[in-house]
Amino acid sequence: MSRVVELGGLRMGSAEVASAVEALVQKRRSIRDYVQEPIGRDLILEVLSLAGRAPSAWNLQPWRFVAVTDAAHRETLQAAAFGQNQVGRAPVTVVVYSDMVDTLARIDSVLRADLAPEAKAKTRQSIIGFFETLTDSQRDQWGRAQANIALGYLLLILEAYGLGSSPMLGFDAVQVRSLFGLPDHAEVVALVAFGRPAEEGRASQRHEVASLVRWA
């Protein structure tokens, strides 16, 4: 029997949910041209809030976002992204980054509320003890890896909302940090341009999964 679950306020069978997720994954394309209409701040916050539901070790949630909607800021960001047109064409480009200094300063705010005080103290010390074994560079790379999970969530959430997107790794991270006053230790993970698509995007060739999987 198909399990009934809630998706976007709709009651759906688990098979229907799986089919809907598969359709999103199969349909998604990188979009480089966008309808020239703004995306409301409430909608931006909604998709980023859902992206923030991504899992992270100890629930630390080290990802951070800069939502760039101002035309002048998008122009300067486009220059820092080596002139990639989608930054200028999209009504929104989100800078996805991680900040482990801020993350570790907020440990208490992410611990489960139902934990006993002793358990909270033990968990907090476990987290601090782990990061004390890492160099600053290793700590920041750890945060970057966690933020990439939220990036994957964001791309599928945007697709579910009917918004096209284009993730970019081509940018000058030093310039991006300077533009938005991010700390030097911030790890800029990606830029994600998004908006209502003005094109279908190009299909891409994918490897056969059998060539990528090993069984043990």
For residues 154 and 70, membership in a common domain is answered with yes
Using one digit for the tens of pLDDT, what is the confidence trace for 94-118?
A: 999 999 999 999 999 999 999 999 9
- Could you give the CA distance from residue 169 to residue 151 in angstroms, rounded to a whole number? 12
Dig out the tokens for 180 from the structure: 């938005």
Domain match, 73 and 126 both: yes
Share of the chain above pLDDT 90, in %: 86
Q: What is the mean pLDDT of residues 15-38?
A: 91
Tell whether 78 and 100 lie within a shared domain: yes
Rounded CA-CA distance 54/148 in Å is: 10
Residue 183: helix, strand or coil by DSSP? Answer: coil
Residue 195 structural domain? 32-200
CATH number at residue 64: 3.40.109.10
Residue 210 lies in a domain: no
Q: What is the DSSP letter of 2?
A: P
Do 4 and 52 have their domain in common?
no
Out of 18-22, 73-77, 181-185, pick the least confident: 18-22
